[in-house]
Amino acid sequence: MTRNTTGLGARLQAVLCDIRAAELKFDRPPGSVELLAVSKTHPVEAIRELAARGQRAFGESYLQETLPKMAALADLPLVWHFIGPIQSNKTRAIAEHFDWVHSVDRMRVAERLSLQRPPALPPLNLCLQVNIDAEPTKAGVAPEALWALAQAVVCLPRLRLRGLMVIPTPGPEPAAQRAPFRRLRVLYDACLARGFTLDTLSMGMTADMEAAIAEGATIVRIGTALFGPRGGQSDRIIASSMTTESTPHAGE
């Protein structure tokens, strides 16, 4: 089966150009914003295609899906970022296979990641996910609980606290989009003022990338603008071929 990766190279170029343009527009140093290619639900061929064009950092949210993809791409020097919700029983696989985790929001998960990080690997890079709008149903540590969590996490030997991550409720227009990113930036600056040595603000997705760069993002997590929409026909074929041994009606 051939999969359609046509246009991926052009979309990568376009996203990189948009990042550079936003850096210029908002007086950010050139190269200060890194592209994390969010490849969840997308096939190894697409990742390979982007890797061949120089993209190194890839973000994934679902362990079951990611581990086989990592194995298939083990010949490439990729940097893997876990950005999805973390259940305690999944920490070992995350600690063993990823270079970064963006979505830690409680001490129990941080402790397990530190304990389970293999000694042969460097410390696991970590961002704390902040529930910046303090919405009861959303993941992330509450802003007022951030200090205590950060203080405890920096004492864990096998983790390296790099910064903060946010997934705000999407706002329609740029001004509204910037507000939650600015609040995360204020928290980040307060962390620096308290002596935490951080260098990462993980914020901005396809719909709000420019607003995030305007407010200081150092990593933007981009899926749709690179790979196209998730949940398309090719994604369903791949998802079903991962979960079943045979595909009885495979007409493709």
Ligand X SMILES: *Cc1c(COP(=O)(O)O)cnc(C)c1O
Interacting residues with ligand X (CB under 6 A) = 38, 40, 61, 83, 167, 205-207, 221-224
Instruction: Please give the residue whose beta carbon sits closest to ligand X in the complex.
Output: 223
Query: Nearest 5 degrees, angle CA 165-CA 169-CA 172?
Result: 120
Determine the residue type at 203.
Answer: M
For residue 114, how many C-alpha atoms fall within 13 Å in the half-sphere facing its CB?
18
Least separation in angstroms between residue 242's CB and ligand X is 18
| Residue number, 161 or 167, with CB nearest to ligand X | 167
* Sequence-ordered alpha helix ranges (H) in 26-171: 44-52, 63-72, 91-97, 107-116, 146-153
Least separation in angstroms between residue 225's CB and ligand X is 6
Least separation in angstroms between residue 140's CB and ligand X is 11
Q: How far apart are CA 250 and CA 252, in angstroms?
A: 5
Least separation in angstroms between residue 130's CB and ligand X is 13
Residue 141 DSSP code: B
| Residue number, 38 or 128, with CB nearest to ligand X | 38
Q: How far apart are CA 61 and CA 42, in angstroms?
A: 11
Least separation in angstroms between residue 40's CB and ligand X is 6
Least separation in angstroms between residue 193's CB and ligand X is 27
Determine the residue type at 91.
Answer: T
| Residue number, 5 or 252, with CB nearest to ligand X | 5
Query: Nearest 5 degrees, angle CA 244-CA 246-CA 251?
Result: 115
| Residue number, 58 or 196, with CB nearest to ligand X | 58
| Residue number, 133 or 154, with CB nearest to ligand X | 133
Stated length of the chain: 252
Closest CA to 171 of 186, 182, 158: 182
| Residue number, 81 or 112, with CB nearest to ligand X | 81
